[in-house]
Amino acid sequence: MRVIVRTVSELCITVGTLIVLFVVHLLFWTGVRADAAMGDQIDRLHAQWSRGSDRARAAAAPARYAPGRPFAIMYIPRLGATWHKPVLEGTGAGTLKKGLGHYAGTARLGRRGNFAVAGHRRTYGDPFEDFPQLRPGDAVVLTDGSTWFTYRIDKGPHRTVPTDVGVIDPVPRDSGYRRPGRYLTLTTCDPEWGHSHRLIVWAHLDSTRPVEAGEPGALRR
């Protein structure tokens, strides 16, 4: 009898400890790892951008981004004055641990079509934690090292189901856009800790300026 009681209680304590450790892992450790990884990606971009002339590199830019590699930095003032994250090519689980993921097959940054990006709402640094606070008119600024791209949000956050792939079409469904243009779509999960739905915002390219001209107005305070 004593042996049974002891074994069961030890088991309960073990399971409880495991659960607590797992929550620590999710809430804290994935964030620590992701922040380090994102910082790393941004350092890599800056190192890459400081090599060679911007003009020459822009001219030599390949037609596709290299999968799993960073190619731009995103700034969204609404999510915080210091909020900036690397954008990597692809939306695989491993890629999204290191930054935001660009849907392969959607338009390149600043080009005609729809530049679509996904990011974690929770865990792995919580990049899109405050996604629901985004409002029409908010700026989404990106740089690829040679140009600043300022997008303005037109619609969202729009709640939809995970299979609604039309939201990242070149002319996104439900976005209110009627004709082809230079659009941006951001996606994340909803509810915060669930996966039953997705939150979407859409933006259009408002302005561009070369990096030599300095930060765009949307980033100045």
Partner 1 sequence: MYGWIWRHLPGNAWVKALLSLLLVLAVVCVLFQYVFPWAEPLLPFNDVTVDNQ
Query: Which residues participate in catalysis according to the annotation?
Result: 120, 189
Pick between residue 162 and residue 180 the one whose CB is nearest to partner 1.
162
Beta bridge partners of 165: none
Taking the complex as a whole, how short is the minimal distance between the CB of residue 74 and partner 1, in angstroms?
Answer: 15
Site of interaction with partner 1 (CB under 8 A): 6-7, 10, 18, 21-22, 25-26, 29-30, 91, 93, 96, 101, 103, 118-123, 128, 160, 162-165, 167-168, 187-189, 193-196, 198, 200
Taking the complex as a whole, how short is the minimal distance between the CB of residue 97 and partner 1, in angstroms?
Answer: 9
Taking the complex as a whole, how short is the minimal distance between the CB of residue 25 and partner 1, in angstroms?
Answer: 4
Alpha helices by DSSP H, listed for the chain, are 2-24, 30-50, 54-60, 93-96
Pick between residue 142 and residue 168 the one whose CB is nearest to partner 1.
168
Taking the complex as a whole, how short is the minimal distance between the CB of residue 189 and partner 1, in angstroms?
Answer: 5
Pick between residue 166 and residue 180 the one whose CB is nearest to partner 1.
166
Q: How far is CA 12 from CA 3, 8, 16, 19, 30, in A?
A: 14, 6, 6, 11, 26
Q: How far is CA 40 from CA 37, 46, 70, 99, 208, in A?
A: 5, 10, 10, 10, 26
Give the single-character DSSP code of 161. Answer: -
The answer for residues whose C-beta is within 8 angstroms of residue 29's C-beta and 6 or more apart is none
Pick between residue 47 and residue 93 the one whose CB is nearest to partner 1.
93
